Structure formats: C-alpha cells, structure tokens
Amino acid sequence: MYTKTQWKDHIVDASGNVIQQGTPVNANNMNKIEDELAYLDSFVSSIVRGESTFNSTNGRTISHSLGHTNYIVIIVPLQDTGGDLGDVYISKAANTFTVYNTGGFTGSFRYQLMT
C-alpha cells in the first residue's frame, strides 16, 4: 500500500531563520513517486474497451485476451433506451464475456473491462 508523503514548504523569515524545515526534494522521495506511477501504469495496460450492441436475452458475446475471470465489466448504453433495456447482467469466461439484457432494447453500448 502506498504511504503518502506529507510535503511541507521550507519557510524562512526575513532574517533567514528557518521557521519550518521543508520536505527534501531528493532521489528517495522522487523515486517513490516514480515507482508508484509505474505500478499504476501496469493497471492501465490491463483495461479493455470497446462498443457493441445489446441482443436482449440472447446475449452478445465479446472476446478479449485476459485469460482469467478476475475482472470487472462496466456497461453504458450509448443512446436513450426508451425504458426497454430491462436488467443487464454479465456472464464472464476467461477470454469472453456475454452481456444480456432482459428488455427488448438492441441499441449500442460501450464496455470497459478492468482487472
């Protein structure tokens, strides 16, 4: 878990006396930031996005190459559903997922998978 650095400004008075010692901007503190950014960047590469269309209770199967089922699927309709979307549910597999909706709406949706 990331441990946040409480950065402090270096403050001196008009005579040059240190009122508050600032947090050093050094290799250790900067590398901590770089390491966390690299760690977070590894998550960005595991995001899959795209668009498809609803297919009611027949479902719409979409392929991906994650190779596991430990992911989250986010579905967003791209137009007014006219109240006919119904419930949306997902069936996940290692390299595919299927989007079902209980209503008759067959318009488009955007999906995003995150691990």
pLDDT category of residue 114 using cuts at 50, 70 and 90? confident
Residue 5 lies in a domain: no
- Give residues with Cβ within 8 angstroms of 8, minimum separation 6: 20, 21, 22, 23
Per residue in 53-112, pLDDT (tens digit) is: 999 999 999 999 999 999 999 999 999 999 999 999 999 999 999 999 999 999 999 999
Q: Say if 1 falls within a structural domain.
A: no
30 and 58 assigned to the same domain = no
DSSP of 51-95, one letter per residue? EEE--GGG-EEEE----SS--EEEEEESS--TT----EEEEE-SS
Tokens of 50: 């795209």
21 with 34, same domain? yes
Tell me, yes or no, whether 87 lies in a domain.
Answer: yes
Q: What is the pTM of this model?
A: 0.63
- Are 26 and 57 contained in the same domain? no
The confidence band for 1, taking pLDDT boundaries of 50, 70 and 90, is confident
Domain assignment present for 28: yes
Q: Which domain holds residue 108?
A: 48-114
Split into its structural domains, the chain has a count of 2
